[in-house]
Amino acid sequence: MFVSKSMTKKLITVTGETDILEVGKIMRDNKIRHIPVVDDANILLGMVTDRDIRSAMPSVASENFDSKEERDKLSRLKVKEIMTTDLVTVSPMYTLQDVLLLFEKYHYGAFPVTNDKGVLEGIISIRDLLRAFGSVMGIGNPGALLGIVADDKVGQMKKIVDIITAENISMGSILVARHWEEGKRAVFPYLLTHNVVRVKKKLQEAGYEILDPMKWHLDQLPKK
């Protein structure tokens, strides 16, 4: 799946001349934390976040907090003076996997999406990414997630799928991940049923270990 199919396209933007009090109100009113800053041609100039706004505001402990003089000073402070201009942008043709790696590397909450001319086309956030992966995996449909430990060998996936389909159970998706034990893989089929007792038993009879998905996490994986 490509970023262009999952990004948020209806954006609220501001210009560099917008004052920070107005931007703060826009964020509160729309319950958003990131606003792209663009010029008249919709070229991306920077990003302003709720953290940028808070950093520019006086401390509540300050004796000048909420004074007329302080408000007047803030009203003269423009977005261009506090926005982040050293941005990491993504292309609409990036895959969701590309963006996932960027989220892991930079720990940002969102990335602006621009074309090769720097024109802003959208923004993709963690929420957009989760929604997209949820759709791909069929998690929106009622069902149950199984965890299975399998040997890292050719043909294991077919055996697992055959056991599941022999029970007349449909799958919304199937995910294969690393396992902390050498030579093993963690397989997570999302089954479109809540009645999984029989299929679990069949998998165990075939020699597979059933893994609680809640007990599998990245911290357990071997370090590279």
pLDDT tens digits, 19-38: 998 999 999 999 999 999 99
Q: Residue 162: left (phi > 0), alpha (psi -120 to 50), or beta?
A: alpha
Model confidence at 39: pLDDT above 80: yes
| pLDDT value for 220 | 52
159: pLDDT strictly greater than 60:
yes
178: number of Cβ within 10 Å: 14
The number of CA neighbours under 13 Å toward the Cβ of 169 is: 28
Neighbouring residues of 213: CB distance < 8 A, sequence distance ≥ 6: 145, 146, 147, 188
The band of 67, judged by pLDDT with boundaries at 50, 70 and 90, is: low
Closest alpha carbon to 206 in 158, 145, 154, 173: 158
pLDDT of residue 56: 83
For residue 209, give the H/E element and its range: strand 209-210
Using only C-alpha atoms, the chain has a radius of gyration, in whole angstroms, of 24
Contact 120, 11 (CB under 8 A): yes
Locate 59 and state its tokens. Answer: 């401390």
pLDDT: is 145 or 206 the higher one? 206
The residue-averaged pLDDT of 183-191 equals 90
Q: Which domains does the chain have, with CATH numbers?
A: 3-134 (3.10.580.10), 139-220 (3.30.70.260)
Are the CB atoms for 148 and 173 separated by under 8 Å?
no
Give the global pTM: 0.66
Q: Containing H/E element for 130?
A: helix 126-137
Half-sphere exposure of 75 (CA within 13 A, CB side): 7
pLDDT given for residue 123 in this prediction: 96
Residues contacting 99, CB < 8 A, separation 6+: 3, 90, 111, 124, 129
